[in-house]
Amino acid sequence: YRGYLSTKMCFESMFWLTNETVNIWSHIFGWMLFLGLTLYDLCLLNIHASFTDKFIVGLLLACFQICMVMSSLYHIFSCRSEEHFNCFLSFDLLGIALSMLGIYMTGVYYAYWCHKGWQMFYLSTVLAIFLAAMALQIPSLNIHSNIKLLTFVGWAAYGVVPTLHWTIMMGGLDNPIVALLLPRVLMMYIIVGIAFGIYITRIPERFFTGKVDYIGSSHQWWHFFVVLAL
C-alpha cells in the first residue's frame, strides 16, 4: 500500500508493484483499446455513414476513453493527499457517469429514430438524471456516499424502461432487429450486475484477507468487467 506521495512519486508508483498497479494499468490499456477502436471506426473502416452518425459513435467512444483516463488518474493520485483523493474520486465518478450517458444517448437516439417524441423524452430524462447525479458530487453538499452510489444504481436500472418500451414497440423478439440487439443489451446488464455484485461484496478479499492485495481483488475484477461491458 502506498502512503502519502509527492506528484512525482505518484507517477513513479505506476511502475511499482502495489495494490493499485493492476487498477492503474487495466484502465490505461482500456483507454488504449477504445482509442484504437475510435481510430479504426472513424478513420480506417470504410463505412458510408453520415457525419452525424460518425459524430455520435465518436462521442460514445470518447466518453469511454474519458472514463478510462479518469479512473487511471484516480488510482495514480489517490494517495497524494486526502484532498487529492476526494478530487480525483469525483473525476472517477464523472468518467463513469459520462460513459453511462454516452451509452444511453446513443442507444436512445438510434432505438427511437422513428419516434421523435419518445426519443426526446428519454434523452431529456437521461440527461436530467445525469445532471442530478453530478450535482450530488458537489463537496459542499456533504451527500452521503451511499446516496451517491444508489443514484448511479438507479440511473443504470432506469435503462430497463426505454429498453422494454422499445422491445414492445418493435414487436418483441419476432422483429429481427430486436432479436439481434436485445441479447447484447441484456449481456451488458448481466456483466455490469456481476461487476457491481463483486464490488459491493468485496469478494474475494473478504474470504482471502491479505492474499489478493496485488492481483485478484474485487476492485480489479470490477475494472475488468467494466471494460468488458463497454
Residue 48 labelled as part of a binding site:
no
- Cell 492485495 -> residue: 213
Find the angle CA(104)-CA(107)-CA(108) to the nearest 5 degrees.
80
Residue 75 labelled as part of a binding site:
yes
Q: Which residues contact 35 (CB under 8 A, 6 or more apart)?
A: 65
Phi-psi region of 45 (alpha: psi -120 to 50; beta: other; left: phi over 0): beta
Burial profile 56-73: b = 16 or more Cβ within 10 angstroms, e = fewer: bbeebbbbbbbbbbbbbb
Residue 223 labelled as part of a binding site:
yes
**Residues forming the annotated binding site?**
75, 219, 223
**Residues forming the annotated binding site for Zn(2+)?**
75, 219, 223
